[in-house]
């Protein structure tokens, strides 16, 4: 009988510890999920993000302010990427197309503070453009499919 009580006590203790650990893990998980969805508003936060002018906030924290056509970025607009880089210029079918300026602030593509002013095609630098580095040095010339010619 004593052994049965001891075994029952040990089992209940074990289950309580496991439940406590699971409750803590569940609470942490719920806090993370709540933080992801309640700290910032996502989606179309203002205007008409289908056919018109609007402000769209994306899941990764990027924010677009400008024109939309059929729910895609179109016309003039400004996209501020979650890492801080900014593109201001023309859009077509959700891609950078036409004239635009890209400012690279996080240093992943070009050194921090570098600016590209020029033509874009299919979301890549394409055509005439100018790359201006933070130290003032410049490259002016042609780009083909994102690469300097």
Do 33 and 48 lie in one domain? The reply is no
CATH of the domain at 55: 2.20.110
Say what the pTM is. Answer: 0.72
User: What's the pLDDT at 119?
Assistant: 98
* pLDDT single digits (tens) 66-117: 999 999 999 999 999 999 999 999 999 999 999 999 999 988 888 999 999 9
Asked whether the beta carbons of 74 and 49 are under 8 A apart, the reply is no
Per DSSP, which regions of the chain are E strands? 43-47, 52-57, 63-69, 72-80, 86-92, 95-104, 114-121, 124-132, 138-144, 147-148
Enumerate the H helices of the chain as residue ranges: 2-38
Q: Which range of residues forms the domain containing residue 12?
A: 1-39
Query: Is the pLDDT confidence value at 31 over 60?
Result: no
* Token pair of 143 as six digits: 């780009």
Do 32 and 56 lie in one domain? The reply is no
How many domains are contained in the chain? 2
């Amino acid at each position: 009988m004593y052994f049965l009580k001891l075994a029952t006590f040990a089992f209940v203790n074990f289950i309580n510890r496991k439940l406590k650990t699971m409750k803590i893990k569940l609470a942490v998980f719920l806090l993370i999920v709540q933080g992801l969805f309640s700290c910032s508003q996502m989606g179309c936060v203002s205007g008409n993000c289908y056919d018109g002018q609007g402000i769209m906030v994306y899941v990764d924290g990027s924010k677009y302010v400008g024109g939309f056509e059929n729910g895609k970025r179109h016309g003039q607009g400004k996209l501020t990427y979650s890492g801080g880089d900014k593109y201001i210029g023309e859009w077509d079918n959700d891609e950078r197309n036409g004239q635009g300026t890209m400012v690279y602030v996080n240093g992943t593509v070009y050194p921090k503070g570098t600016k590209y002013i020029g033509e874009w095609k299919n979301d890549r630098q394409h055509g005439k453009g100018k790359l201006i580095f933070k130290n003032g040095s410049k490259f002016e010339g042609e780009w083909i499919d994102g690469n300097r010619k």
